[in-house]
Amino acid sequence: MKNKEKIVAITRPFDRVDEVHEIIESFNAKAFIAPTLELEIVNSRSLKDLISNLNKINWLIFTSPTAIKSIINFYPDFKERLSNKTKIAAIGSKTAEKLAQYDLNIDIIPNDFTAEGLIKSFNRLDIKDKLIGIPRTLDARLILPDKLKELGANVLIAEAYKSRLPLDTIRIEVLISKILSDEIDAIIFTSPLTVKNLFKIAVDEQIDELVNKLSTNILTVAIGPITHKTLDKLGVDSIYPNKYTVKDMLELLFETL
């Protein structure tokens, strides 16, 4: 049994599984891909409003690569439209890499890759009456815009993409079955929604056993403290790395497994 190939379940969206899959295979383990989250870029009315007000925006905050992908897709001339007075803040190394891909300079990237970490950075600045644009999903937590408003900023939230349950939930149902039958050794969650959506698909009589299996028989790993808290509220024990990246999360997983 000690030599049995370990199976790690991936719950993040399909368009974000490649890196995870490669790292898992580099540890001679097998990935079971069952996205519990689907992302769809949208050119919403609020995103159109953000773009039309670019010349007035003092700060743009990007919290995920998907928001950048959306803007560049719908507005290929985004960089040319952007005022040289507009500063950019980013959360996370992947978001920073995506911005660099389009030669967009970053003025702030917190060491703590969370909204709370970025708020600490803005606490040191005078943003009273400044206009801050945040292109993102409307399902994201409200702590970032709320805290910025407390600091006196005017905040413009633009829906750049939708976060939803996959239309086809068969893979998620199979994943739940594999968890309950002890066919999964570890599972990773990269956002609160990846957790919540798994439990949305589980039927009522599966919930207690699912929580028990994820806490005892399976190594459950969250990408950071926010996702960890979501699991904790559901009664699931999990661990998370000191640095909130996919690479660090998986290194912790295989150190612990």
Q: Domains in the chain, please, with CATH?
A: 7-37+167-256 (3.40.50.10090), 40-163 (3.40.50.10090)
How many C-beta neighbours within 10 Å does residue 191 have?
Answer: 24
Are residues 112 and 120 in contact, defined by beta-carbon separation less than 8 angstroms?
yes
Tens-place pLDDT, residues 118-155: 999 999 999 999 999 999 999 999 999 999 999 999 99
65: nearest Cα among 29, 102, 111, 98: 98
How many C-beta neighbours within 10 Å does residue 156 have?
Answer: 18
Give the pairing type, strands 131-136 and 7-10.
unpaired
161: nearest Cα among 239, 64, 21, 17: 64
Tens-place pLDDT, residues 75-97: 999 999 998 899 999 999 999 99
Tens-place pLDDT, residues 101-125: 999 999 999 988 899 999 999 999 9
Q: Amino acid letter at 251? A: E
Residue 98: both structure tokens together:
């995506």
Length of the chain: 257
Burial of 169 (0-12, 13-18, 19+ CB in 10 A): middle
Ranges of beta strands (E only) in the chain are 7-10, 30-33, 38-41, 59-62, 87-90, 131-136, 154-159, 161-164, 186-189, 219-222
Residue 2: both structure tokens together:
């000690």
pLDDT-derived band at 15 (thresholds 50, 70, 90) equals confident
Alpha carbon 149 to chain centroid, angstroms: 23
Please name the residue that has the structure tokens 């370990």: 6
Mean pLDDT of the chain: 95
59: nearest Cα among 132, 150, 124, 136: 132
Question: Is residue 61 scored above 90 in pLDDT?
Answer: yes
User: What local confidence, expressed as pLDDT, does residue 176 receive?
Assistant: 98
Residue 15: both structure tokens together:
């368009």
249: nearest Cα among 180, 173, 189: 189
